[in-house]
Amino acid sequence: MALILLTNDDGYDALGFQSLYKELIKDFDVFAVAPRFQQSGASHSLTLKRPIRVEKIRKKFFTIDGTPTDCVLLAYHDLITEKIDMIVSGINHGANMGSDVFYSGTVAAALQGVSLGINSIAISLSSREYNNFSRSVVYSKDLIKRVLLLNTTNLILNVNIPDGKIRGEKITKMGKRIYRDKVIRDNEKENVMYSVIDGTLSYKVAADTDFKAVEEHYVSITPLKLDLTNYEGMKELHRQLKK
């Protein structure tokens, strides 16, 4: 029976995480390590220079006072002694498409998994209401089973599931997310101020992208990689900086 490390960034009590956990334990050996509190937007941050509170809820189920990356590292280096066959992060409340992957704690947990040599999947649900994860859970378990059969390594899949009926799945590339950020300043007094980062999100719909697939009610599966090197930029720098 495959051993799956399950984590997320919405917190251990989030409905998406709990729903997936209850389904996966029917067919897999599941070890759950999740943040005690909401960690959305934590990206790939980790906790340094302070002790991290780790609480055992029950057998093979822990919560930690830290980030999704902390969860993966603590599980791998301390809590789990067996070989981990896959890391699954989710199901996240909200899509992680386009450049969301740079901010997402859900995706960061999968990235950390692959950096440790473990194939990983980040799963998110795009919905207006997050009170029914039944379709996304069924699909996720089936996808996990199929990926476990693949003969590949260093696999990072960013999976986004549409709300409602699922027409199928598509292998996609990252789309273009548009951030219209604004800062709201409030309660300024004697050189101390409180500011809130707010704004709106939109995106460009283009062929073969995650946004396009989900908009058409297909599951978007985007393979990611850790190497962010701009190889074309390297060539240009060599050309221009060469003395």
* SS (HEC) of 116-166: CCCCEEEEEEECCCCCCCHHHHHHHHHHHHHHHCCCCCCCEEEEEEECCCC
Q: CA-based diameter of the chain, in Å?
A: 63
Q: Is residue 180 one of the residues assigned to a domain? A: no
Burial class (CB in 10 A: 0-12, 13-18, 19+), 230: exposed
Residues of the chain where predicted confidence (pLDDT) is lower than 50: none
Helix (H, G, I), strand (E, B) or coil at 211: helix
Q: Tell me the Cα Rg of the chain.
A: 19
* pLDDT, position 51: 95
Residue 190's φ and ψ, nearest 5 degrees, are 50, 55
Integer Cα distance of 234 and 243 in angstroms: 15
Q: Is residue 182 one of the residues assigned to a domain? A: no
Helix (H, G, I), strand (E, B) or coil at 210: helix
Spacing of C-alpha 236 from chain mean position:
33
Q: Which DSSP symbol is given to 98? A: G
Q: Is residue 191 one of the residues assigned to a domain? A: no
* pLDDT, position 42: 81
Q: Is residue 195 one of the residues assigned to a domain? A: no
Integer Cα distance of 195 and 186 in angstroms: 6
How many CB atoms within 10 Å of residue 68?
Answer: 33
Q: Is residue 192 one of the residues assigned to a domain? A: no
* pLDDT, position 191: 76
- Structure tokens, 238: 């060599």
Domain limits at 23? 3-174+206-241
| 2 CB-near residues (< 8 Å, 6+ apart) | 28, 29, 85, 86, 148
* pLDDT, position 186: 74
* pLDDT, position 33: 98
Q: Is residue 194 one of the residues assigned to a domain? A: no
Pairing of strands 156-162, 120-126: parallel
* SS (HEC) of 31-73: EEEEECCCCCCCCCCCCCCCCCCEEEEECCEEEECCCHHHHHH
Enter the pTM of the model.
0.90
Q: Is residue 13 one of the residues assigned to a domain? A: yes
Q: How many domains does the chain have?
A: 1
* pLDDT, position 116: 98
H helix or E strand, kind and range, residue 203 = strand 192-204
Provide the CATH number for the domain around residue 111. 3.40.1210.10
Q: How far is CA 178 from CA 65, 82, 107, 204, 205, in A?
A: 32, 42, 19, 8, 11
Q: Is residue 200 one of the residues assigned to a domain? A: no
